[in-house]
Amino acid sequence: MDTVSPAPVPAYRLEDLPGRIAAKIRVNPVTGCWEHQGYPERRGYVRVWWQGCRWLVHRLVYTLLAGPIPDGLTLDHVKARGCRSKACCWPAHLEPVTRGENSNRGDGPTGVNQRRQSCVNGHPYTRENTFMRKEGRRECRACMRDRARQQYRAQAEAEGRTVRVKGAYGLKPSVLSLQRIDERTAS
């Protein structure tokens, strides 16, 4: 079994933790994750009491074994290091990062979208074409314009108005407006 030599990691030891905390941790033999067996809250993280405060258990264990987490930083469960559990509190699997970086790495919509180079309709996410929502979600400006234009046309059609859409942004006038214009010139 000596064929694979694991990358050297700082030797964090369960026995350096307070017994009460260590007793609840199971080391996953496949991933190496230190999985805390406490009941997870809604978002999948486990909280524990420690010295009169309620802590996210991975933040507590990291603080006790690796040192304080810099202000404002969140602890990422680093997938690239093999971490597969939100209940994991092995400091070797954790890394302090900014909140933005954490959601970029994740599998949530923000992370997946952030790594994508273009929108679902293939418009590139360039700086000019990207609208940043407050939550950090990107939105394609070309698609926003298309949606606004469609809405405008639908509204106009509902009201029986004739719409001529300018060929802005390289778009041809819509089929709808062409039909309307043809009807008008024919009669």
Q: Name the site residues for Zn ion (rule: CB under 5 A).
A: 33, 83, 88, 93, 119, 121, 123, 140, 142-143
Q: Tell the smallest beta-carbon distance from residue 128 to Zn ion (Å).
A: 12
Q: Which amino acid is at 20?
A: R
Q: Given the structure tokens 């293939």, which residue do they identify?
A: 122
Residue with Cβ nearer Zn ion (75 or 140)? 140
CB proximity list for 73: less than 8 A, separation 6 or greater: 96, 97, 98
Distance in Å, CB of 171 to Zn ion, minimum: 13
CA-to-CA distance for 12 and 65, rounded, in angstroms? 7
State the minimum distance, in angstroms, from the CB of residue 18 to Zn ion: 20
State the nearest-atom distance from the C-beta of 21 to Zn ion, in Å.
Answer: 16
Shortest Cβ 86–Zn ion spacing (Å): 9
Report which of 36, 109, 106 is spatially closest to residue 75, judged by C-alpha positions: 106
| CA separation, residue 160 to residues 89, 93, 163, 175, 176 (Å) | 63, 62, 9, 15, 12
Q: Which is nearer to Zn ion, 36 or 180 (CB)?
A: 36
Q: Which is nearer to Zn ion, 86 or 180 (CB)?
A: 86
Q: Which is nearer to Zn ion, 114 or 181 (CB)?
A: 114
Please check whether residue 91 is in contact with residue 67, taking contact to mean a CB–CB distance below 8 angstroms: no
Nearer to Zn ion, 78 or 165 (CB): 78
